[in-house]
């Protein structure tokens, strides 16, 4: 269940609460009955200020309130999020060490890194999705003065050697979002990777590159300031906070639907009752009106789901990005 606006969100809150409560009532007595007895560590594989950090910081206090113990954020940035993932994969399955994983760590990385020290499906317990985030084609109108996806495609095709696109690094979601778009639109553009989101966006603002696919929340400030133009969001439905921006699907590429997700994972072997308890706490945290509104205002879609549904999402997403990586001709690192 993905919720893109607060009005839609409210209509599902009672149902989600009832489901979570029912799951907790029928769970057999287990370690979950006494858990948690002390603080929980939430590992994040990307640095402070990143999209992962934004989500983590916004969910940290609501999770503390729902669980009754502190939630301590531990940054283990590096290797595309793999450092933090490796720590959680080796941790005890007691619920005290969790990962804020993403479509990058559990969808893209298996196709990009050939020697991962873990299996993203076998060595983790999917607990709860948190939000889905649309990417948006963001341009510097001083470099490429077009107003629609159709105009963008026509301009690139007419001048194939003129424009470069930026990304936050080789094999990252920002590159692959553009590679997916290029493949669907029949474009060939030169990729210019940077070391992170700030550098990549600055390259677009300076005019070193013409454009970037990035998360709505990352470019929202520059968009409101008039420094960039948003041509189309990558999801099948428009994003509430920028609802004036059309979808790519309705702008000449029917069926285009791509997004980045964020969610909670634990090590493999977690007690199912404990998983349900954390899932219920996460859903409760996301149902707090102030929390929901804040996340939606940043361009996120709240995602309430069961652990089993989240596991399927991870599996499907891994297959999808493997196909994109293969089509883009990227060799595993």
* Per-residue pLDDT tens digits for 1-42: 766 666 665 555 554 554 554 555 444 455 678 999 999 999
Between CA 71 and CA 123 the distance in angstroms is 23
Domains 2-133+259-328 and 134-251 equal at CATH topology level:
yes
> Which residues of the chain carry a pLDDT beneath 70?
2-31
CATH for the stretch 134-251: 3.40.190.10
DSSP line for 204-244: HHHTSSSEEEEEHHHHHHHHHTTSSEEEEESSSS--GGGTT
Predicted confidence at residue 241, as pLDDT, reads 93
Predicted confidence at residue 196, as pLDDT, reads 81
3-state secondary structure of 325: helix
Predicted confidence at residue 10, as pLDDT, reads 58
DSSP line for 54-120: HHHHHHHHHHHHHHSS-EEEEE---GGGHHHHHHHHTS-SSSSEEEEEEHIIIIIHHHH-TT-SS-T
**Contact yes or no for 104/196 (Cβ under 8 A):** no
Quick check: bond before 280 cis, omega within 30?
no
Predicted confidence at residue 29, as pLDDT, reads 53
Smallest CA-to-CA distance from 261 within 201, 320, 333 is with 320
Whose tokens are 């989101």? That residue is 197
Predicted confidence at residue 25, as pLDDT, reads 46
Predicted confidence at residue 308, as pLDDT, reads 97
3-state secondary structure of 124: strand
Domain 2-133+259-328 has CATH 3.40.190.150: yes
Structure pTM? 0.85
Between CA 54 and CA 235 the distance in angstroms is 20
**Residue ranges of the domains in the chain?**
2-133+259-328, 134-251
Predicted confidence at residue 182, as pLDDT, reads 95
Predicted confidence at residue 6, as pLDDT, reads 63
């Amino acid at each position: 269940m993905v919720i893109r606006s607060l009005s839609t969100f409210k209509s599902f809150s009672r149902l989600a609460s009832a489901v979570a409560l029912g799951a907790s009532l029928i769970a057999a007595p287990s370690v979950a009955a006494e858990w948690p007895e002390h603080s929980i560590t939430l590992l994040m594989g990307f640095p402070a200020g990143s999209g992962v950090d934004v989500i983590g910081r916004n969910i940290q206090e609501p999770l503390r309130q729902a669980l009754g113990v502190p939630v301590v954020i531990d940054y283990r940035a590096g290797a595309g999020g793999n450092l933090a993932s490796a720590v959680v994969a080796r941790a005890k399955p007691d619920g005290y060490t969790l990962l804020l994983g993403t479509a990058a760590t559990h969808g893209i990385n298996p196709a990009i890194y050939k020697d991962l020290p873990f299996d993203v499906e076998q060595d983790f317990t999917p607990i709860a999705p948190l939000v889905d985030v649309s990417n948006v084609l963001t341009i510097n109108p001083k470099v490429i003065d077009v107003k629609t996806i159709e105009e963008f495609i026509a301009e690139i095709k007419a001048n194939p050697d003129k424009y470069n696109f930026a990304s936050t690094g080789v094999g990252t979601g920002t590159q692959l979002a553009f590679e997916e778009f290029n493949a669907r639109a029949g474009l060939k553009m030169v990729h210019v990777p940077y070391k992170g989101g700030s550098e990549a966006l600055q390259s677009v603002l300076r005019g070193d590159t013409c454009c970037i696919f990035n998360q709505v929340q990352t470019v929202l400030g520059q968009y409101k300031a008039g420094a960039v133009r948003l041509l189309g969001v990558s999801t099948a439905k428009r994003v509430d906070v920028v609802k004036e921006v059309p979808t790519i699907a309705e702008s000449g590429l029917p069926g285009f639907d791509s997004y980045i997700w964020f969610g909670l994972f634990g090590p493999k072997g977690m007690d199912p009752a404990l998983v349900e308890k954390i899932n219920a706490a996460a859903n409760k945290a996301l149902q707090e009106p102030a929390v929901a509104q804040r996340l939606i205002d940043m361009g996120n879609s709240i995602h309430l789901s069961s652990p089993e549904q989240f596991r399927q999402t991870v599996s499907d997403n891994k297959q999808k990005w493997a196909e994109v990586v293969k089509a883009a001709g990227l060799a595993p690192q």
